[in-house]
Amino acid sequence: MKQLKETAQKIKSMEIRGAGKIARVAAAQLRDRSTRIETRNIEEFNREMKQAARLLVNTRPTAVSLPNAVRAVMRYEGDSVEEAKASIKELADGFILNSENAVRKIGEIGARRVRDGDTIMTHCNSSAAISIMAAAHDDGKNIHVLATESRPRWQGHLTVKQLDEKGIKTSLIVDSAVRYFMKEVDLVVMGADAVTANGSVINKIGTSQLALAAHEARKNVIIAAETYKFSPRSLLGELIEIEERSSSEVLADDKLKEFSNVSVKNPAFDVTPREYIDLICTEVGAIPPEMAYIIIRECLGWELGDMGKMNI
Ligand code: RUB
C-alpha cells in the first residue's frame, strides 16, 4: 500500500496533476497494486482492490476522469486471483493506451479548426489543449499563444515551457488581462476536468470568465476533452464537486494570521455554461456541447449500468 499512498499524496499535493494524467496514473497504480497483493483468496483480493480504488478516488474530487479511470479498471473479472490480476492488467493497459491515443487524436481533430496566423488564448495547463496547438504548429500553421499564469498554482508556467519546447511563439499574461487581450484573439482553446450531461464544462478556476469574455467578443471557444472526462453521474442529477484548496496557496499562513477579519477562498475549478462553448473536441469527434449526453450514452454507457454495484 506504501507506493499507492505515496502516489495518492502526490495527486493531492498536485505533484501529479491534470485530469488526463491523474486518470492514467490511477489506472497504472491499480494495476501495480494488484500485482503486489499476495493473497490467493479472491474475496480478500477484491477487498484490497476496493480499498486501493477508494484511496485514489478520494484524492481530488473534481476531475471525473479519475473515478471513470478507476471504474474502468475495477470492472475486472475473474474467479481466481490469477484471472483477476490478468483482467486488471488488460483493462488498465487498455485505458492508458486509449487515453494517450485520445489526446493525440484530439490534437489532429482540433488542429483543423486552427488557421494559419491565428492567435490562441489558453488557460491553465491542459495536455489535450496543448495537443491541438502542437498539431496545428506541426501542420505548418504559424500560431501565437497567449497563456494565462493561472494563479494560484501557476500552471501557465508549465504551458509556456511546453509550448516553448515545441517552438511555438507564446506570451505569458496575468489572469486579469484576459479581456484586455481578447481583441487580439482568434480562438480560445482550453481543457476540461469534467463535462456534464447538459454540456457544461468544469475546468480550472477562471475558465468561465475567459469563456464569457470570448463570448462577448464573439470569439470561438474550443474545449479539448477526452470522452472519459464526461460525467455519467451528472445524468443522474449528481453535481460535480468543486474542489476548495488550502488558503495557503493564495496567502501564506503567517500573513493570514495577521488579520482578524480576513479569510481566503480558493476554489480550484469553475463551471462554464454550454452557451459560452462552441465546440468540445473529443477523440470521437468535435461536438457541440449540446451533444454531451450522446457521448455519455455511447462511450460511457457501461458506467451507468455499473454505477450501483461498483460501490467504491
Ligand atoms: C488542471 C486543469 C486542466 C484540466 C485538463 O487543473 O484544469 O485544464 O485538468 O488537463 P489542476 P488535461 O492543475 O488543478 O490539476 O488536458 O491535461 O487532462
Q: DSSP assignment of 5-27, as one string? A: HHHHHHHHHTSS-SHHHHHHHHH
Phi, psi of 211 (to 5 degrees): -65, -35
Percent of the chain topping pLDDT 90: 93
Q: Would residue 32 show up in a list of annotated catalytic residues for this protein?
A: no
Q: Say whether pLDDT at 156 is over 80.
A: yes
Q: Is 124 a catalytic residue?
A: yes
- The response to whether residue 206 sits with its C-beta less than 6 Å from ligand 1 reads no
Contact 124, 192 (CB under 8 A): no
CA-based nearest residue to 225, from 196, 186, 185: 196
Task: Give the model confidence (pLDDT) of 25-46 as tens digits.
Answer: 999 999 999 999 999 999 999 9
Q: Is the CB of 20 under 6 A from ligand 1?
A: yes
Q: How far is the CA of 99 from the centre of ligand 1 (A)?
A: 14
In order of start, what are the domains of the chain with their CATH numbers?
A: 2-104 (1.20.120.420), 106-306 (3.40.50.10470)
Q: Is the CB of 191 under 6 A from ligand 1?
A: yes
Q: Name the residue with the closest Cα to ligand 1, atom 1.
A: 18
Cell (9 digits) for 83? 484471472
Catalytic hit among 32, 93, 116, 193: 193
From the candidates 118, 124, 281, 299, which is the catalytic residue?
124
Taking the CA of residue 190 as reference, the ligand 1 atom at the shortest distance is 8
Cell of 256: 493570514
pTM of the predicted model as reported, rounded to 2 decimal places: 0.96
**Rounded Cα–Cα distance for residues 79 and 70 (Å):** 20
136/118 Cα distance (integer angstroms): 10
Model pLDDT for residues 256-310, shown as the tens digit of each residue:
999 999 999 999 999 999 999 999 999 999 999 999 999 999 988 766 665 544 5
Residue to mutate, 60, 124, 228, 269, ligand 1, most ligand atoms under 8 Å from C-beta: 124
Which whole-number Å values give the CA distances from 204 to 18, 201, 283, in the listed order? 10, 10, 21
Work out which ligand 1 atom sits closest to the CA atom of 268. 14
